[in-house]
Structure 1
Amino acid sequence: MRPISEEDLTTRARIRDAALGLFAEQGVKATTIRGIAEAAKVSPGLVQHHFGSKEALRRSCDEYVLAYLRDQVNAGITEHNLEKPEFIESVHRTAPPLMKYLGRALVEGSPAAATMFDDLVRLTEEHLASDEPGSDDDHRARAAVLTAMKLGITVLHEHVSRALGTDMYAQQGALRVSKAQLDLIRPEFLGRDLFEQARTGLEKYEGQR
């Protein structure tokens, strides 16, 4: 087997990104290999060379989005980057196409969307905290509901954007949505330290706009 060249990796990523956009906009069923090839500016044969089939390409998109979400949770929470405006800027810049894809996948009932939802619930549950040691709070239920609320905004992004009068994935819209989400969450729910990190990061980021 020949080694994968840097050019192959770039082409593969371009095809994947084109598929992400079309799957999010049109849904998987309405999207064709030819349409993906046109969006990526490659031949249909090259799409099939890299991915084999539309279903395999969809799975690759699923894996990419799930890996992105895990990386962002790890970088933001585990590595304590939530209070850094450059981290927030990076998320606001890179997340929109992936979140739109996830929103469509949730609506279409993709098996991978179920996996992503469950994974986000698990990650959220791990990071929920109580100010009272020994509390019997049902973190599983809270994590499931919080995840559903956050992803619900993604599914309804067109309506949220209309209500705000601006694209919620654009810079100013994303900032407004992030601040509103934080305003609706009690500090005790996330843990005081995590809550303050998030608040500080948003304030610093807003101050740079």
Structure 2
Amino acid sequence: MSEPPASDLTARARLRMAALRLFAERGFEATSTRAIAAEADVSHALLRHHFGSKDGLRRAVDDDALSAFDRILAEFDAPATRQGLLATFGTVTARLFGADELRRNYLRRSLLEGGAASGELFTRLLNGTRARLAMLSEGGDVETGAIPDSEAESDRLWEPYQVLFLMLGPMLLEPVMRHTLADPVFAPEALHDRSAANQRLLTRGLRAAPGDTREP
């Protein structure tokens, strides 16, 4: 996701982008509001005017990152099966992260820092994913198959978490995965291969025979 030149941004937007960069690079606690103001080339007083505090600025950065998430999730329709639905979430969001290294790095650092703010960010991601799944299920008449009610209830509980596992797993593990792969984790070819593998895993299960395209 490309950003407009800093000269085209308002002071508020420059502050938000500067905070995004510095929080991603240094972490929230290690970044001062004065460093953010200097990075954005605005006065410290203007930062306090727009955001009130560093916590207010963090909330604005989270809103920006989650808005990017929401936009990409809104761009696809429900596949015919639950497995296809989960795999499509993984594919679409992998492409988002692949094109947006800055927000990818911010989300990774923010989620791994722990604490109340990290928990709040994850809860917002979970609730947004849960709402999108419900909307797609209602609008797309996604097939669930003949499964007992108790299993269906368990699936509904865990589906948004499974989606987030697919979406966030490669992003959170990127720093260590890069040592085991020939290509960068979010390189186009790696994204393509990983998305295809996710589709096969979710529709055929582990250890499927070559050429087996049967639904589980």
TM over 0.5: yes
Query: 1:153 aligned to 149, 170, 181, which one?
Result: 170
Q: Structure 1 CA distance, aligned partners of 2:122 and 2:97?
A: 24
Counterpart contact for 1:130–1:188, Cα < 8 Å = no
Residue 104 of structure 1: aligned partner:
109
Query: 2:145 aligned to 110, 132, 148, which one?
Result: 132
Distance 1:182 1:112, change over 3 A: farther
TM-score by length of 1: 0.66
After TM superposition, the structure 1 stretch with the greater mean CA deviation from structure 2, 119-128 or 137-146, is 119-128
Distance 1:104 1:180, change over 3 A: same
Residue 58 of structure 2: aligned partner:
58
C-alpha displacement of 1:93: 6.9
Q: Structure 1 CA distance, aligned partners of 2:23 and 2:133?
A: 29
Q: Which one has the bigger helix percentage?
A: 1
Whichever residue aligns with residue 157 of structure 2, its letter is R
Structure ID, larger Rg: 2
Residue 37 in 1 paired to residue 37 in 2? yes
TM-score by length of 2: 0.64
Q: Structure 2 CA distance, aligned partners of 1:132 and 1:93?
A: 33
C-alpha displacement of 1:77: 3.7
C-alpha displacement of 1:119: 2.5
Whichever residue aligns with residue 51 of structure 1, its letter is F
C-alpha displacement of 1:92: 5.8
Q: How many residues are aligned here?
A: 173
After TM superposition, the structure 1 stretch with the greater mean CA deviation from structure 2, 94-103 or 132-141, is 132-141
Query: 2:190 aligned to 176, 192, 196, which one?
Result: 176
C-alpha displacement of 1:144: 1.1
Distance 1:45 1:162, change over 3 A: farther
Residue 10 of structure 1: aligned partner:
10
Residue 203 of structure 1: aligned partner:
none
Query: 1:115 aligned to 123, 138, 146, which one?
Result: 123
After TM superposition, the structure 1 stretch with the greater mean CA deviation from structure 2, 60-69 or 114-123, is 114-123
Distance 1:94 1:40, change over 3 A: farther
After TM superposition, the structure 1 stretch with the greater mean CA deviation from structure 2, 49-58 or 97-106, is 97-106
Counterpart contact for 1:92–1:174, Cα < 8 Å = no
1:184-195 equivalence runs, <5 A: 184-186=198-200
Uncovered stretches (5+) of structure 2, i.e. residues with no partner? 1-6, 79-87, 204-216
C-alpha displacement of 1:177: 2.7
After TM superposition, the structure 1 stretch with the greater mean CA deviation from structure 2, 57-66 or 114-123, is 114-123
Uncovered stretches (5+) of structure 1, i.e. residues with no partner? 1-6, 190-209
Q: Structure 2 CA distance, aligned partners of 1:108 and 1:52?
A: 23
Whichever residue aligns with residue 35 of structure 1, its letter is A
Residue 143 in 1 paired to residue 160 in 2? yes
Counterpart contact for 2:126–2:160, Cα < 8 Å = no
